[in-house]
Amino acid sequence: MSATKILVNLTQPPYGNSRAKDAIDAILAASAYEQDLRLVFTGDGVFQLIKQQNGQAIKQKNLAALLSAFPLYEINQVFVQSSALNERGLAENDLALPVTLMTDDEIGVFFEQHDCVLSF
Amino acid sequence: MKFTIAIYGAPGSSQSAQSALNFANAVLAQGHEIYRLFFYADGVHNGSQLACPPQDEANLPQQWQQLIQKNNLDAVVCIAAGLRRGVIDNTEADRYEKDSHNLRADFELSGLGQLVDAAVQSDRLITFGN
């Protein structure tokens, strides 16, 4: 059986609720099953990728540091909603991981190209 | 069609738990199959034996249990999320030396691998709670 194409859609900011951390746990679990795994950061989810963040100040693990470990797990296919960056005054070089930018239209098509979308 | 339902919201604080239950009922009423219910994040509170909502409000943990029993569903509470939030079974209570446990009968504590498996095996995975 060929690998299932799983897309993880990250929609929430890194702090304030547990969703971003929940997503990281699920992504690492999925990577262990050698499925065809891609991540897309949309909306406030793009805040998770900011290089300069300090979770310790609010007694939280630094989320970008956790995300930076993804290449070690061979999770390399990371996509970002370009309009979400623009709307928040961010640019690609503010981000902690190498990413591929996508337009809203491209993301719509992208969702359809996967067998399953896990939303966090 | 084979559905898996992932629930991230807690009863009492998120409407998503009730929406998920309604959806599960609708899926079964239409003759589809539920491959798994996966309770994650605050959703683990749906598996608590100790919730005591007022009489005139929905008792979601009880209603989930009835649905699971009646239809012999596979209902998984994420073990890591459950441990964090104090929704644990007998075995974990022993392991962490707690004097009580509160996971409802017919729910099972297991890992995130069960969510990944469900994503692979199901035709549709529907998430409730943002």
Question: DSSP for A19-46?
Answer: HHHHHHHHHHHHHHTT-EEEEEE-GGGG
pLDDT digits 0-9 by tens, B36-68:
999 999 999 999 999 999 999 999 999 999 999
pLDDT for res A33: 87
- Signed CA dihedral, B72, B44, A69, B4: sign only: positive
Contact (Cβ atoms closer than 8 angstroms) between residue B96 and residue B65? no
Contact (Cβ atoms closer than 8 angstroms) between residue A26 and residue B115? yes
pLDDT digits 0-9 by tens, B7-30:
999 999 999 999 999 999 999 999
pLDDT for res A50: 96
* Crossing angle of the two packed helices B60-71 and B15-29, in degrees rounded to 10: 20
User: Which residues from A are below 8 Å from B80, CB to CB?
Assistant: 25
pLDDT for res A35: 79
The enclosing H or E element of A119 equals: strand A116-119
Distance of CA A115 to the CA centre of its chain: 18
User: Which residues from B are below 8 Å from A25, CB to CB?
Assistant: 80, 112
State whether A22 and B81 contact (CB < 8 Å).
yes
3-state secondary structure of A101: strand
User: Which residues from B are below 8 Å from A18, CB to CB?
Assistant: 41-42
State whether B130 and A35 contact (CB < 8 Å).
no
Low-confidence stretches of chain A (pLDDT < 70) are: 1
State whether B80 and A25 contact (CB < 8 Å).
yes
Structure tokens at A64: 């970008």
The enclosing H or E element of B82 equals: helix B79-85
Assess whether pLDDT exceeds 80 at residue B130. Answer: no
Rounded average pLDDT over B82-98? 98
pLDDT for res B19: 98
3-state secondary structure of B78: strand
How far is it, in rounded angstroms, from Cα A100 to Cα B36? 33
pLDDT for res A103: 98
pLDDT for res B93: 98
Structure tokens at A38: 């891609």
Assess whether pLDDT exceeds 90 at residue B94. Answer: yes
